[in-house]
C-alpha cells in the first residue's frame, strides 16, 4: 500500500514515471480516461528544480474527469464534452499544485457523475480494484480504483449523494465527503449545486486529512464556500457515538452489518461511548434526493446545448433540432432520465407538490440531524447496504441502483461531513463504515478514523 510518504523525498520525475507506468499496467481496469503526462513531466521539472515546493512536493495524484484541469479534455465522461478543453483549472487542483502535487491523469466516472457504479460512463465502466468482475462503484469509481490499485496515493472525486463514499467503500479505501462549502466547487462540472462537494480518496486517514486540509478553504470564486474552519485535530477525547439503526436492518447485508458492528466494538474498546439512535426521516431521504437533485441536474445541464462548446449535431436543420440532437447524442440514458425527472418536478403545477415538498422535508431532515448532534459527536452507519455488485446487476432497474445510495444521500442533503472508512471484507469484497459529523466537524471525523487505524 502506497501513501503520500512513499513519494516524498524522491525525485518528482521518478514519481510521475512510476505512476504513469502503474496506470498503463492497470489499463484493463479502465480507471483513467486519459493521462496528463506532458503537463505532469513539466510540473515534475518545476518541483525537481525547487521552483515549486510544498507539503505534496512531487506527489502524483489523479482527478475525476469532471474537474477542469489542463492537458487534455475535461469530458465528465460524456460525449457532449468529449473534446472540451478547459481554459482554466478548478480551485482545488490549483491548491494541490501549489503544494507541489502533480496531476497525472483524469479518472473515469458515471457520465456527469450520475450513477453509483461508473457503468454510466460514456466511455465504458471501471472495474473494481479488489474483484474486477464487480463494479467500481460511483460516480467517482475511477478515482477510488486508482488509489486502491496504488497508481497514486490520493485522488479527487466529487460527492453529490455518495459519489465518493460509495466507491471508497466498494474498493476499500478512505473517502472524504466534506461539509458543504468547505471545499470550492469552482471549476468542477456542476451536478447539483446544493449538495456537490469536492473530496478525496486515500489509502490512510492521515493522507486523507492532509489532502483535505490543503483542499479546504474559502474561495472568492465560489460564493457558497464557508469561511475557513478546517483545523487538524491532534488529540481526541472520548466521543459520544450514535449508531443509525435505520440503516442496520435486515435490508442491509449481514456481512456488511457484521463489519460495522465489529468497528463499533473497536470504538467502544477505544474509550468511546456508543448508543443506538433513530433517524426517522431516513426512509424518505432517497425520495427527497431524487426530486431535488434531478431538478438541479436538469438546470445545471441546460448549458450543454451544442451552441458555444461541446459536440454539436451536424444533422440539425433548425435550432430546436440542434438542441435536441446534440443533447440526445451527448447525454447517456441516465443523464436523460434525470433531466426528465428534474424538469417534471419543476414544471408548472408540480413544483409545489414535488420540489417544494421535498425541500420542506429536507429542512426537517436537517433538524433531525441537528437534534442528533446536540446529543452525539459522531453518527455511524454502513456506507452502502451491500458490497460491490456485478456488472449489469442493477442497470435494468434504476430504483435498485438508487437504493445503493440510501445511506449516503441524507448526509448530502443535510450538507454535513462524512467519511467512508475501510472496515474489512465480506465474501472477499471490501466493506466501508460511514462516520458522520455535524457541519464543520470534518477534522474530528478524520482524527477519529486515524485513531482507529492505529488500533486496527
Catalytic residues: 64, 139, 163
Q: Which is nearer to another protein, 28 or 348 (CB)?
A: 348
Q: Is 229 in the site for another protein (CB under 8 A)?
A: no
Shortest gap between Cβ of 67 and another protein (angstroms)? 8
308 near another protein, judged by CB under 8 A = yes
Are the C-beta atoms of 161 and 405 separated by less than 8 Å? yes
Contact with another protein (CB under 8 A) among 218, 270, 299, 395 = 299
- Per-residue x/- marks for another protein, 316-345, CB under 8 A? ---x---x-------------------x--
Query: Judged by CB under 8 A, which of 16, 35, 76, 423 binds another protein?
Result: 76
Q: Which stretch binds another protein (CB under 8 A): 33-41, 82-90, 136-144, 162-170?
A: 82-90
Interface residue with another protein among 33, 260, 295, 406 (CB under 8 A) is: 295
Closest to 94 measured CA to CA, from 43, 133, 132, 166 = 43
CB of residue 448 vs another protein: minimum separation in angstroms? 30
User: What's the distance, CA 205 to chain centroid?
Assistant: 16
Which stretch, 200-208, 254-262, 290-298, 360-368, contacts another protein (CB under 8 A)?
290-298
Exposure string of 363-387, with b = 16+ CB inside 10 Å and e = fewer, is eebbebbeebbeebbbbbbbbbbbb
Candidates 14-22, 56-64, 125-133, 304-312 — which segment interacts with another protein by CB under 8 A? 304-312
CB neighbour burial string for 292-311, b if at least 16 within 10 angstroms, e if fewer: bbbbbbbbbbeebbbeeebb
Residue labelled with grid coordinates 507541489: 100
Q: Which is nearer to another protein, 209 or 341 (CB)?
A: 341
The answer to whether residue 123 forms part of the interface with another protein (CB under 8 A) is: no
CB of 323 to another protein, least distance (A): 5
Cα 156 to chain centroid distance, Å, stands at 8
Cα angle value 372/174/397 (rounded, 5°): 80
CB of 228 to another protein, least distance (A): 17
Distance CA 51, CA 30 (A): 34
Give the HSE-up count for residue 132: Cα atoms under 13 Å, Cβ half-sphere.
Answer: 8
Q: How far is the CB of 36 from another protein (least distance, A)?
A: 17
Q: CB-wise, 88 or 333, nearer to another protein?
A: 88
Interface size with another protein, residues (CB under 8 A): 43
Helix axis angle for 205-215 and 91-98, nearest 10°, is 110
By CB under 8 A, tell whether 413 contacts another protein: no
Residues 349-408 binding another protein (CB under 8 A) are 351, 355
Q: How far is the CB of 103 from another protein (least distance, A)?
A: 16
Q: By CB under 8 A, name the one of 194, 261, 313, 395 that touches another protein.
A: 194
**Are 323 and 312 within 8 A, CB to CB?**
no
Asked if 90 interacts with another protein (CB under 8 A), we say: yes
Q: Does position 220 bind another protein by CB under 8 A?
A: yes
List residues binding another protein (CB under 8 A).
Answer: 67-68, 74, 76, 81, 84, 86-88, 90, 185-190, 192-194, 220-224, 295-296, 298-299, 301-303, 305, 307-309, 319, 323, 343, 346-348, 351, 355
Amino acid at each position: 500500500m502506497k501513501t503520500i510518504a512513499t513519494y516524498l523525498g524522491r525525485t518528482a520525475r521518478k514519481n510521475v514515471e512510476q505512476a504513469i507506468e502503474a496506470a498503463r499496467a492497470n489499463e484493463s481496469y479502465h480507471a483513467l480516461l486519459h493521462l496528463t503526462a506532458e503537463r505532469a513531466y513539466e510540473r515534475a521539472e518545476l518541483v525537481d528544480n525547487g521552483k515549486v515546493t510544498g507539503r505534496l512536493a512531487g506527489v502524483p495524484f489523479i482527478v475525476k474527469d469532471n474537474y477542469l484541469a489542463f492537458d487534455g479534455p475535461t469530458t465528465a465522461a460524456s460525449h457532449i464534452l468529449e473534446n472540451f478543453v478547459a481554459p482554466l483549472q478548478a480551485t482545488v487542483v490549483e491548491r494541490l499544485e501549489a503544494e507541489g502535487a502533480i496531476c497525472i491523469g483524469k479518472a473515469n466516472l458515471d457520465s456527469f457523475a450520475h450513477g453509483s457504479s461508473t457503468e454510466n460512463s460514456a466511455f465504458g465502466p471501471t472495474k473494481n480494484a479488489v474483484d474486477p468482475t464487480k463494479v467500481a462503484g460511483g460516480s467517482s469509481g475511477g478515482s477510488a480504483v486508482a488509489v486502491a490499485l496504488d497508481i497514486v496515493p490520493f485522488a479527487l472525486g466529487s460527492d453529490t449523494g455518495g459519489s465518493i463514499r460509495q466507491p471508497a467503500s466498494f474498493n476499500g479505501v478512505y473517502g472524504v465527503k466534506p461539509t458543504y462549502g468547505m471545499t470550492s466547487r469552482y471549476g468542477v462540472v456542476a451536478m447539483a449545486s446544493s449538495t456537490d462537494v469536492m473530496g478525496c480518496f486515500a489509502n490512510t486517514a492521515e493522507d486523507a486529512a492532509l489532502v483535505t486540509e490543503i483542499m479546504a478553504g474559502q474561495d472568492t470564486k465560489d460564493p457558497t464556500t464557508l469561511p475557513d474552519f478546517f483545523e487538524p485535530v491532534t488529540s481526541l477525547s472520548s466521543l459520544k457515538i450514535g449508531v443509525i439503526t435505520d440503516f442496520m436492518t435486515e435490508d442491509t447485508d449481514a456481512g456488511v452489518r457484521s463489519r460495522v458492528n465489529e468497528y463499533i466494538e473497536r470504538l467502544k474498546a477505544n474509550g468511546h461511548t456508543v448508543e443506538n439512535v433513530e433517524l426517522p426521516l431516513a426512509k424518505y431521504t432517497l425520495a427527497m434526493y431524487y426530486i431535488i437533485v434531478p431538478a438541479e441536474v436538469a438546470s445545471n445541464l441546460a448549458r450543454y446545448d451544442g451552441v458555444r462548446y461541446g459536440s454539436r449535431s451536424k444533422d440539425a436543420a433548425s435550432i430546436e433540432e440542434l438542441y435536441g440532437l446534440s443533447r440526445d447524442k451527448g447525454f447517456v440514458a441516465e443523464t436523460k432520465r434525470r433531466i426528465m425527472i428534474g424538469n417534471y418536478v419543476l414544471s408548472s403545477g408540480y413544483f409545489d407538490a414535488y420540489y417544494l415538498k421535498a425541500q420542506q422535508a429536507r429542512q426537517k431532515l436537517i433538524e433531525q440531524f441537528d437534534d442528533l448532534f446536540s446529543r452525539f459527536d459522531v453518527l455511524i452507519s454502513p456506507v452502502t447496504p451491500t458490497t460491490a455488485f456485478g456488472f449489469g446487476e442493477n442497470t435494468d432497474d434504476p430504483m435498485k441502483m438508487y437504493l445503493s445510495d440510501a445511506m449516503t444521500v441524507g448526509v448530502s442533503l443535510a450538507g454535513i461531513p462524512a467519511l467512508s472508512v475501510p472496515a474489512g471484507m465480506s465474501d472477499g469484497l471490501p466493506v466501508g463504515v460511514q462516520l458522520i459529523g455535524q457541519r464543520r466537524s470534518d477534522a474530528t471525523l478524520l482524527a477519529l478514523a486515524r485513531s482507529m487505524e492505529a488500533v486496527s
